[in-house]
Chains A and B, each alone.
Chain A
Amino acid sequence: MLTFIIRRLLIVVPMLFVISFLVYLGLELTPGDAVSHMIDPEVASRISAEQLSEMREALGLNKSFLERYYIWIVNVLQGDFGHSLAGGVPISDIVFDRLPATLELSFIAIVFSTIFGCLLGVFSALKKGSLTDNSLSVVGMLGISIPEFFFGLVALLIFALNLQWLPIGGRLLPGYETIWDRLPHMVLPGFVLALMMTAGVMRYSRSAMLDSLSRDFIKTARAKGLPEWRINFIHGFRVALTPVIVLIGFRLPTLIGGSVIIEQVFQWPGIGNEFIAAVRGQDYPLVMMIALFSVFAVLMASLIIDVLTALVDPRVRLD
């Protein structure tokens, strides 16, 4: 098991370096450098060219590209992600400030969609061709076809604007900070995200379960005279779980990105909202760092998925 993880890490770590290099290259190619961002253009026009070049030297900007990349990556590894162009706030502060809000939403969506998606999908597969199965299929198809922000807007209109059961957006009102004040804010974005994800998981686990039920080991189990529930759940579902884990695992990191649009609809102060603001404001260092974070999350998730699949599926061997 350990050698398996180490071997996977040997692929993941170089990959991270290559991507960080590309990201840094992108940062270099975008207009402006640290000095021009730090100083107001109006002020800069009054400063002599000598002073400007002195400042560049002091910041190490006249070194070669590779040297600067080296300094940058060492800083990043030490937890210094640089500063946002808007207001010069350290990027690490922004990320750790916004991440909990996003993780909160993702957590709700992942837990809800995994439980209900798997349950409905397996139920659908066991009752293949029935009325329930067909209607669930149509609902699942609707779920993957409606743009999530459109669904969010309709939910917002019905529950927040017309019925006024829930707040229209945001996460906290100043002065109200207990969980009971926060819960109503979470309900709409959380459930919109969760329902959209449930549709995908349901469709996927249905076909995975059908596939698993058509295999020979199911016939063997039946021939052994095992009770039907044991065949379905112990033998069938275990193998069907593999592709489902892969799907959910890949959703995990994309939820940092996947909730981007929903965060916007509900003015949720998460990392996605910050990312959109950074893209709009051309705050390149912030854009790049958030992108790099999400890549890190994807690669780590894929590592975890590999280990989990190996644990769940008896057919996968680790070497």
Chain B
Amino acid sequence: MMSKSALDKKFDRIRSLEEAGKLKPLTGSRALRKMLNNRLALIGLIVFLVILLASIFAPLLTAHNPMKINLRDMLQAPSFEHILGTDKTGRDVFARILYGGRISILVGLGSALIGAFIGVGIGCFAGYKGGWIDVAALRLSEIFMAFPQIILVLLLVSIVGQSLINLMLIFVLTGWGAMYRLTRARVLSLREEEYVQALQSFGLSTWLICYKHILPNALGPIAVNITLTTAMFILAEAGLSFLGLGVPPSIPTWGNILIVAQDLRVLQNNWWLWLPVGMVISLFVMAVNFIGDGLRDSADPTLQG
């Protein structure tokens, strides 16, 4: 008698559970279930939500005002009163990280979503219909994509000037192209499917076929791309603000908090000014990336299991 393999044992376990009536019927979407079974993606989702909620409900978590200058409490090390100490003008660092998260997440997630909305909106229709819209959008996206991303962003910053809205506009402008091309490529292959031909023969309107019947089948890779773009924009905001060219320095953001680390004395002596916020950025971006990986694995039908 051959010994049972690991797979056999697994099946035995499942069968015994089934006979005992303990197996829950599978509910909800398969993709969602797979995503929740992916441990790293789940941890990513939890970290993402914790940081997001902590930023949104910042006033509940700290009594300090992130903008309030208090020259009597300059450069204090972390204490019970100031959990992460204070900066050069006596502002509470913990409060600044929480409130800064609002702007940084708004810029990252907001620009990624708006860019996706525009790119997917055009890409779905243009990919299905073709014609001059498609040609025009394709050429336009090629122009934007011919620039290295940070060069284009800085070029636009130098032309339109520095503000929160401008930065988001610039991110949308540099981000929609990739979304458009991704959606277009998916739609180009989907529109040859038989179900689309059937819909056409029913005489459904182009809009309905595009956005109601084709788009849902292209959403998997789009969702993955939104997470990647969000991660990229959050890193870009931090980098630009660190250079003093992103969000105006008066508004607390994760990147703006880090500006002080350019001062080597701060870097060496006042770790609480830059280490925690750098770790929060890394943690948040990592969480978003893990969610993206999880989404990709659950959305990709070639990776069954």
Contacts and interface: CB of A to CB of B under 8 A. Distances in A.
A148 interface: yes
Nearest to B288: A145
A290 B278 CA distance: 30
Do most interface residues of chain B lie in helix, strand or loop, or is the interface mixed? helix
Interface size band for A: 35 or more
Contacts of A30: 158-159
Given A145-B285, A149-B242, A161 B151 contact: no
Contact of A141 (B258, B261, B290): B290
A276 B154 contact: yes
Given A19-B143, A145-B231, A276-B243, A153 B261 contact: yes
B18 interface: no
Given A257-B149, A287-B155, A294-B151, A161 B238 contact: no
Interface in A14-40: 15, 18-19, 22, 26, 29-30
Contact of A276 (B148, B245, B286): B245
A257 B267 contact: no
Contacts, number: 118
Contacts of A105: none
A256 to B, nearest CB: 7
Given A145-B286, A156-B267, A264 B243 contact: yes
Given A148-B239, A150-B282, A26 B267 contact: no
B148 A256 contact: yes
A279 B157 CA distance: 8
B268 interface: yes
A196 B264 CA distance: 22
Do most interface residues of chain A lie in helix, strand or loop, or is the interface mixed? helix
Contact of A146 (B143, B243, B282): B282
A103 interface: no
Contacts of A146: 278, 281-282, 285
A256 B151 CA distance: 9
Contacts of B238: 147, 149-150
A216 to B, nearest CB: 13
Interface in B224-263: 231, 235, 238-239, 242-245, 258, 261-262
Given A29-B159, A282-B158, A287-B155, A254 B267 contact: no
A145 B264 CA distance: 24
Interface of B: 142-143, 146-152, 154-155, 157-159, 231, 235, 238-239, 242-245, 258, 261-262, 264, 267-268, 274, 278, 281-282, 285-286, 289-290, 293
